[in-house]
Amino acid sequence: MNTKSQAAPGSVIDPPTPIVQASGVEQHFGSVHALGPVDLTIERGEFVSIVGPSGCGKSTLLEIVGALQDPFRGTVEVGGSRLNGPRRHTAIVFQESATLPWRTVLDNVAFALEVRGVGKRARRDRARELVGAVGLSGFEDHYPAQLSGGMRQRVAMARAMSMEPDLILADEPFGALDEQTRMLMAEELLRVVSTIGCGVLFITHSIQEAVLLSDRVLVMGRRPGTFIDEVPITLPRPRAHAALSEASATAAQDRIWSQIRAEAEAAMGQQR
C-alpha cells in the first residue's frame, strides 16, 4: 500500500519529504509531564499506529501533530512545512466525531467541499461517491439522529475523505463501536486509505486492529510516553481479518502485548 513515489534518476524533482516529521516533541500540563520527548516520522502513504497504556500521552501527540495543541516543546513538520496552525489536508477523526445534526448525510459530507468553494453540482456528485465508498448508499437523505453510531462514524469518515487528505489523524475512531462493526470499519478504512494513498497516524487500544492496519506499530511506554518499541508489520496487502492468524501477525501481537502489559502494570503501580 505504501505509495512512496521515488524521484526518477536525474530528475529535478526532490524525493518527497515525509508527511510527518516530529522531533523532540514534549508536553507538560502544569506539573504533569504528559509526553516525551519523542521523535516521529511518517512517510507519505504510510500507516503508523500507536499503542500504549492509558494516559501515556498518545492523544496528546496526535493533537500536537493536528495543530490542536499549542504550545509544546520540539518541532513538527507536516507536508514538509513547519506546523503553524490547522492544515486543510489533515483530516482528524475521533471516537465520537461530530456530525452536523441539521444536515442530511449527503450535506454533511458535502460540507467540507462547500467550505472550499466547490460548486453545488460538483460537491453533491463527489459527496454521493464518498457516501457510497463508506457503504451508506441509500441513506443520503437521512439525518444523523436516524443513524446508528457506526453509521455516523462512517459519515465522519466520508467527510474526512472529502478533504482529499494527505494525512489522516485517527484517535480511537472505532472505540465506541461493537466488535463486528469495528472489524468491518477497519477493513473499510484500509480500502479508503489505499485508494487515496494518504499517510495515517492511528491510535488504538486494540493490538489486533493495530497489526491488521499498520505498516508500523509504535509502542509507547507509560507517562510521560516515549516510544519503547517499533514493530514492522510485513503482512501483504490488501489485508483482511484472516491475516491476523498468520504467524508473523501473531508474533507481532505477542511482542506488542508483552511490552504494553509490563508498562500498564508499572503505570498501575505508580497510581497506587
Ligand X SMILES: Nc1ncnc2c1ncn2[C@@H]1O[C@H](COP(=O)(O)OP(=O)(O)OP(=O)(O)O)[C@@H](O)[C@H]1O
| Smallest gap from residue 60 Cβ to ligand X (A) | 3
Q: What is the nearest approach in angstroms of ligand X to the Cβ of residue 123?
A: 34
Looking at the Cβ atoms of 76 and 155, the one nearer to ligand X is 76
> Residue 41 is placed in which grid cell?
516520522
How many residues are there in the chain?
272
State in angstroms the smallest separation of the CB of 24 from ligand X: 17
CB atoms within 10 A of CB 22: 23
Residue closer to ligand X by CB (options 56, 169) is 56
Q: In angstroms, rounded to a whole number, what is the distance separating the alpha carbons of residues 218 and 48?
A: 7
* Nearest distance, CB of residue 190 and ligand X, angstroms: 23
CB of 20 to ligand X, least distance (A): 17
For the CB of residue 109, give the shortest distance to ligand X in the complex, in Å: 27
Of 152 and 223, which has the nearer Cβ to ligand X? 223
- Please spell the DSSP secondary structure of the chain, one letter per residue: ------PPTT-SSPPPPPSEEEEEEEEEETTEEEEEEEEEEE-TT-EEEEE-STTSSHHHHHHHHTT-S-S-EEEEEETTEE--S--TTEEEE-TT----TTS-HHHHHHHHHHHTT--HHHHHHHHHHHHHHTT-TT-TT--GGGS-HHHHHHHHHHHHHHT--SEEEEESTTTTS-HHHHHHHHHHHHHHHHHHT-EEEEE-S-HHHHHHH-SEEEEE-SSSB-EEEEEE----SS--GGGGGSHHHHHHHHHHHHHHHHHHHHHHHHH-
**Nearest CA to 168 among 6, 46, 17?**
46
Closest distance of CB 6 from ligand X, Å: 35
Please check whether residue 262 is in contact with residue 254, taking contact to mean a CB–CB distance below 8 angstroms.
Answer: no
Residue with Cβ nearer ligand X (34 or 252): 34
Q: Which residue, 240 or 266, is less far from ligand X as judged by CB?
A: 266
By beta-carbon proximity to ligand X, the closer residue of 109 and 200 is 200
* Nearer of residues 56 and 183 to ligand X, judged by Cβ: 56
For ligand X, the binding residues (CB under 6 A) are 29, 32, 34, 52, 54-60, 223
